[in-house]
């Protein structure tokens, strides 16, 4: 499947058809290899909500059929997934989340990108993001985030809100009885950073602080130097529930923090 960057085939909402039959057996095999590598790590480093959810997806056999995944998700939390050609514009992205649709990239990375890929592919989007959509609180929080994104566009505050996404949905850590674990998709789908974020002594692990996350820059091309740790998805929901309008106003006058 070479839909990488095929935006000309996309609908107005940037969705495309997942032509499942077009994936090659090599692509399914590469997906399985990525899956198997992570399968050894997630029992040690991923949060229990993610571990419980992946079992419902039965996705170790190859690139999943999005329609089948959507049917399970709809029944569980009212979410579905939509195929997209890659990163999509903010407004389309937020509109999908606000409609409880998670955009999943259709194409898979090349074998030489096994360890590292700069943009999201189907493995990152599916393995990293989709399982937690089965968790009711997480699912409602991401829905609220989507609506908050559309509001942030009107307030010219997407840059601030995107940092929250980065430090939670992509690179968030959560406290558990067994210690800190990963719930962020960028961590759960990473061969190297998943163990690093939990076990390495180098990075900072700060208790989640909404305003600090909104103010903190991030680096997209290396392991994070700062992680934010939530107590629970309920805390994430609660701390992000207030109207951000005055927070955006206040933060605009303050310096951005280095990670
Ligand atoms: N409460 C935020 C607002 O009023 C919206 C939001 C919800 C943002 C959840 C992120 C996560 O803008
Ligand atoms: Co992602």
- Rounded distance between C-alpha atoms, residue 137 and residue 17, angstroms: 29
Model pLDDT, residue 59 = 87
In the numeric block, which tokens belong to residue 27? 């692509």
Q: Determine the pLDDT at residue 26.
A: 98
- Quick count: other Cβ atoms within 10 Å of Cβ 171? 23
From 230, 240, 243, 246, the mutation candidate for ligand 1 (largest count of ligand atoms within 8 A of CB) is 240
Place of tokens 């990108």: 113
Mean pLDDT of 111-115: 94
Look at residue 116 in the predicted model and tell me its pLDDT. Answer: 87
Mean pLDDT of 52-56: 93
pTM score, two decimals? 0.96
Say yes or no to pLDDT of 216 above 70: yes
User: CB within 5 A of ion ligand 2: which residues?
Assistant: 120, 185
Judged by its nearest atom, the ligand closest to the C-alpha of residue 243 is 1
End-to-end CA distance of the chain: 37
Using DSSP's 3-state secondary structure scheme, residue 44 falls into helix
Q: Where does residue 221 rank: exposed (0-12), middle (13-18), buried (19+ CB within 10 A)?
A: exposed
Reported as a single tens digit per residue, the pLDDT across 222-244 is 999 999 999 999 999 999 999 99
List, for residues 122-146, the tens digit of each pLDDT value.
999 999 999 999 999 999 999 999 9
Summarised one tens digit per residue, pLDDT across range 164-182 is 999 999 999 999 999 999 9
The angle subtended at Cα 53 by Cα 34 and Cα 27, nearest 5°, is: 25
Which ligand 1 atom sits closest to the C-alpha of 241?
1
């Amino acid at each position: 499947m070479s839909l990488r960057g095929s935006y000309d085939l996309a609908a107005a909402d940037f969705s495309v058809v997942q032509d499942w039959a077009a994936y090659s057996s090599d692509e399914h095999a590469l997906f399985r290899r990525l899956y198997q590598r992570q399968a050894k790590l997630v029992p040690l480093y991923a949060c229990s909500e993610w571990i419980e959810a992946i079992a419902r997806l039965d996705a170790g056999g190859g690139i999943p059929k999005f329609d089948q995944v959507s049917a399970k998700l709809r029944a569980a939390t009212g979410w579905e997934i939509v195929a997209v050609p890659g990163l999509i514009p903010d407004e389309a992205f937020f509109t999908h989340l606000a409609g409880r649709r998670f955009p999943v990239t259709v194409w898979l990375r090349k074998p030489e990108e096994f360890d590292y890929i700069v943009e999201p592919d189907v493995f990152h989007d599916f393995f990293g993001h989709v399982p937690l959509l089965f968790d009711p609180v997480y699912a409602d929080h991401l829905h609220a985030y989507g609506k908050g994104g559309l509001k942030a566009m009107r307030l010219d505050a997407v840059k601030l809100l995107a940092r929250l996404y980065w430090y939670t949905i992509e690179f968030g850590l959560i406290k558990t009885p067994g210690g800190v674990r990963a719930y962020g998709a960028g961590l759960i789908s990473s061969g190297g950073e998943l163990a690093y974020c939990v076990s390495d002594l180098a990075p900072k692990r700060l208790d989640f602080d909404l305003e600090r996350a909104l103010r903190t820059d991030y680096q997209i091309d290396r392991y994070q130097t700062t992680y934010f740790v939530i107590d629970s998805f309920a805390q994430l929901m609660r701390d992000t529930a207030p109207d951000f309008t005055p927070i955006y106003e206040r933060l605009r006058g303050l310096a951005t923090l280095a990670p």
